[in-house]
Amino acid sequence: MDINSKKCFVFDLDGTVYLSDVPIQGTIDFILRNQVKREIFFLTNNTSKNLADYTKKLARFGIAVGEERILSPLLPLVEYLQAQDIHHLYPVGNTSFQTFLRERMPGVVFTSGADCQAVVLAYDTELTYEKLATSCLLLQRPEVHFLSTHPDPVCPSTKGPLPDVGSFVKLYEAATGRLPEMVFGKPNTIVLSPVLKRFRPDEIVMVGDRLSTDKVLAENAGIDFILVLSGEAKREDLPALERQPTLVVEQLGEL
């Protein structure tokens, strides 16, 4: 892979640019060196934060970007809800998630009543048993859609992996027999749509730390993939892979 031929870099965030609130300085330095020369986007599956939360967090590390540079399952989720005329829903998500939906869908109604059209599952860092019970009861009704933002089973942190949407889905499957009809985040290429509309696949490179989401997304989209070993994936995971990443580095400070 010729790095110099790439016009667009798409960076995963947690585990790639930072780990929780700890910056991965080599990768940040690479971004700052290339921010003027190349189009740089940031892609996260984490729906416990909205787009503004991420621009503020990146700013703390010296990276100034607008919300248009943040790619998140939140964006295709809203597009899907609007296209399907789903405006009455029960959100299993935290305050930040609910605020984003209200901002982007002014007519949205959060309800657990007979008018509920869908249960929408996000990374709910304020999860309660009441939310679980209410949403499971709603999903007993076959006409209620079941949507989730992303499939990650855990979210990386400096203390260790924390349960994420993929773990919650296992609970819902056991309790209701249902799985989400639509999952909007990586490795679904719908989350890359804004970039794929502007650049050819050979002009884009994905940078991430996860094999199950970042690498598979890159393969699904037909783009090159740089694996950084600063997050989830380890070098000992590589021999078992059917397809190897395009490039493997500890972090982008090596380039």
DSSP letter (8 states) at residue 249: E
Q: What is the pLDDT of residue 68?
A: 95
Q: What is the pLDDT of residues 123-153, one digit of tens each?
A: 999 999 999 999 999 999 999 999 999 999 9
CATH class of 74-183: alpha beta
What is the percent of the chain with per-residue pLDDT over 70, rounded to a whole number?
100
Q: What is the pLDDT of residue 33?
A: 92
Kindly state the average pLDDT of the residues 169-191. Answer: 97
Q: What is the pLDDT of residues 55-84, one digit of tens each?
A: 999 999 999 999 999 999 999 999 999 999
Q: How far is CA 229 from CA 17, 62, 148, 187, in A?
A: 11, 22, 28, 19
Q: By the 8 A CB rule, do 101 and 86 touch? A: no
Amino acid at 125: T
Domain borders along the chain are 74-183
Whole-number average pLDDT of the chain: 94
DSSP letter (8 states) at residue 214: I
How confident is residue 21, by pLDDT bands cut at 50, 70 and 90?
confident
Kindly state the average pLDDT of the residues 24-44. Answer: 93
Question: 228: Cβ–Cβ under 8 A, 6 or more apart, which residues?
Answer: 15, 16, 24, 27, 207, 208, 209, 249, 250, 251, 252
The CA distance from 159 to 26, in Å, is: 21
Q: What is the pLDDT of residue 72?
A: 97
Helix (H) or strand (E) holding 121: strand 118-121
> Residue holding tokens 């699904």?
220
Kindly state the average pLDDT of the residues 106-134. Answer: 97
